[in-house]
Structure 1
């Protein structure tokens, strides 16, 4: 039976259409293949300042564009404000990248319609100080050495000294002026201050703080934050102030574990000069206990879903560790064994408290603001 040319052509068009549809579906599910074959997808969103170095890293940007077809316009914003402030949310970001899983729930309560969320990095909250101050804290019984430029600090004991109005001499640091203080970011804007507030509340209450126990200790938490004075709006700004100000201006601050590592890795020669000549050297103090800051990527629409897959790719995570000191999703360290990394981070952080849940944290912020 003869087959008309029109039927053959029609069949060919159907087959081509099916192949094109199948190819689209396949490429949509495999962005690592789709990226090199077409125009890159441009995504706009907000990210915490502590991830700014990672997001501007040429190796990271090149990998995201080359392998996944993604170009990011990631603007710096405080983790808390990006999930709460209408001025930011009304700009229609496609993704948000705060620094605490608690803030995913806060985003939902703010009316953000979340397509997908996934923790990308983990970074414990630490204190940053200077070697001579850390040595004084050890002598006064507030801390202990952890090998190299690393220390452990009894945060509960330190908080009680701050609340009691003790001066620095009581804590073994006779040449610093005034009362003991530790400075964090503004907890209503930035996640490191937000998480430090939750950690303080739980330590002072003797367990993870709940709504029915918050009233017993909120005044003490407020005292800790009042003693800080000015609180910068972002973790990156506070760390810059710490490095620039030195031991006298910024004796003790709150930050993320990766921040000093990232600063050291950016310029190894600069770090060698600091180690050789600086009157005081920056050091990490690991609170016992601390809280882990998870960094969840929030995809607000399906266009940004591919970014979750890209950022959890092993090659991207290894760059985050090797160049910036970010631990992976399970708090694990990467494969790179750079001595600048190995001598400054502890492999495991075991003394960890869970964060209070979102309603408790929102109530605590209200009381700190009042």
Structure 2
């Protein structure tokens, strides 16, 4: 997406929200009122949730209509051209962004985590089968695929070939692809996770110098890096294992894709090669905090954490709740794919460490 397009913003739900507001107005009873229109920036992975008619109706019932303009999580809390538009709210995809926003003199009135989704590595069934045979990946007792991400990253840094990792049908050296960490949150989260793994603990200022070079090398080997987690996931699905053998994303992305078209998933699941979510051990949680910047947006936090909207977020889009637990709705096609809970979680490095790492990666 070009900066010009971002600067003007995309009203993801503006038209639908306006239509809903008009409907409530025409009802003409004291119980209904026009929703308050709020404008803000949101991560691309939440586009479908905000465009969902059920989400729009539920927000309207709570008195809100959202004009959510897509922007990367990192840029929305740092880019002057976005903040100059005086948004009512920001909805990035990492709790670290709250601290970075405040360090960037963004006047945050309130903030609260609304949704959660762990970082996963998306791959393909043939790649995962090879990694399992080679010992880099495994399946837990419930059948969920896991990956020893540190071992894989060390293999990438050592110029290991796919063949040496048990995936002989893929050409060349092993690689993993993430988004641009200076713009998009999934790349940002992966950079922090990689730094932690290479440091052997949560990366601190004292150890950053010893691991930053390897993190930089991992990103340099990726080549082009998308500015959007949603765009990278779409490229992964379209490109297949040859073009995108392993990409970093959010757990909810595949869940949402399956729920959107169950019949499509039935066909894909029967194919020789299908998408697979690998859970890094450990991983990091991508929390999605709502940052209220103006008084009118304060109540949006309560609206989005209501049981109605939390149920929509899980049932239609695969987002876990603020505490990291999946929702109660049953998804026959994905129930076996999503762990009830994840215990191997590492915290992200503090904001100062991540800012120093981002500066290194930008250079």
TM-score (ref. length: structure 1) = 0.89
Aligned to 1:84: 78
Query: For 1:360, which of 353, 358, 362 is the aligned residue?
Result: 353
Query: For 1:62, which of 57, 60, 63 is the aligned residue?
Result: 57
Aligned to 2:174: 180
Distance 1:336 1:89, change over 3 A: same
Secondary structure class of the residue paired with 1:293: strand
Question: Could you report, residue by residue, the CA deviation over 1:142-185 in whole angstroms, capped at 9, with x for unpaired residues?
Answer: 01024787300001100100110101001100011111110000
Question: Could you report, residue by residue, the CA deviation over 1:251-271 in whole angstroms, capped at 9, with x for unpaired residues?
Answer: 000000000000000001111
Secondary structure class of the residue paired with 1:295: strand
- Output aligned runs, 1:311-350, within 5 Å: 311-350=304-343
Shift of 1:212: 1.1
Question: Could you report, residue by residue, the CA deviation over 1:80-117 in whole angstroms, capped at 9, with x for unpaired residues?
Answer: 00000011111111000000000001111111101110
TM-score (ref. length: structure 2) = 0.90
Aligned to 1:6: none
Contact kept in structure 2, 1:142 and 1:158, CA below 8 Å: yes
Cα distance in 1 between the residues matched to 2:298 and 2:333: 34
Contact kept in structure 2, 1:36 and 1:68, CA below 8 Å: no
Secondary structure class of the residue paired with 1:352: coil
User: Unaligned regions of 5+ residues in structure 2, if any?
Assistant: 1-28
Query: For 2:283, which of 290, 300, 307 is the aligned residue?
Result: 290
User: Unaligned regions of 5+ residues in structure 1, if any?
Assistant: 1-33
State whether structure 2 residue 113 is matched by structure 1 residue 119: yes
Cα distance in 1 between the residues matched to 2:219 and 2:227: 14
Cα distance in 2 between the residues matched to 1:296 and 1:286: 22
Which has the larger Rg? 1
Cα distance in 2 between the residues matched to 1:299 and 1:195: 22
Secondary structure class of the residue paired with 1:283: strand
Aligned to 2:22: none
Question: Could you report, residue by residue, the CA deviation over 1:54-85 in whole angstroms, capped at 9, with x for unpaired residues?
Answer: 111111111111x2111100011100000000
Shift of 1:40: 1.1
Aligned to 1:15: none
Shift of 1:36: 4.5
Distance 1:59 1:229, change over 3 A: same
Aligned to 2:255: 261
Q: CA RMSD in A?
A: 1.4
